[in-house]
Amino acid sequence: MAYITTKTKRQQIKNDVFDLISPGKIAVKCGREMYRLQGVVIHARFCASGAGNYKFNINHNTLHADYEVWICGSKDHWYLIPIDSIRNMYNHPAAYPDNHHPGIRVVSVDATTHLAGYASPSIKLDLTPYFQASLSMG
């Protein structure tokens, strides 16, 4: 898999988003892609630019967080999603499975419409309430 950004650049983008989610607070790494920020655990994922369509997956590690952050290409476009919404997508009986890993679910995010497709047939979640959300917002 080719990455457009380096690991260092992706981490910087995550840090920039954490500062937007909770200004002035420092996110402390507490696991693989897990960060403690303002007393909650956030699982952070970054997907490089891709014509407005971004692929994320939901795995068991994700479900141990309080929030999931999906960063779509840059620090200007992210979703702070409560884990209950993520869990509902993961547990949906028609959720899209990963072809190689049965415990992982695949989600496709259309960043132009803020819709996350996660189950068949064309079942989507409106991510608008989570777009550029902060911990102080909710």
**1 domain-assigned:** no
**31 domain-assigned:** yes
> In terms of residue numbers, what domain contains 57?
7-137
**32 domain-assigned:** yes
pLDDT in 10s for each residue of the chain, 138 residues: 345 568 899 999 999 999 999 999 999 999 989 999 999 999 999 998 766 799 999 998 899 999 999 999 999 999 999 999 999 999 999 999 999 998 999 999 999 999 999 999 999 999 999 999 999 854
**2 domain-assigned:** no
Predicted confidence at residue 73, as pLDDT, reads: 92
Domain count of the chain?
A: 1
**94 domain-assigned:** yes
What is the pTM for the complete model shown?
A: 0.92
Predicted confidence at residue 13, as pLDDT, reads: 96
Predicted confidence at residue 34, as pLDDT, reads: 96
Residue 24's domain is classified under what CATH number? 3.40.1350
Phi, psi of 20 (to 5 degrees): -80, -35
**87 domain-assigned:** yes
Geometric angle at alpha carbon 105, from 65 and 9, rounded to 5°: 60
**101 domain-assigned:** yes
Distance CA 134, CA 27 (A): 13
**40 domain-assigned:** yes
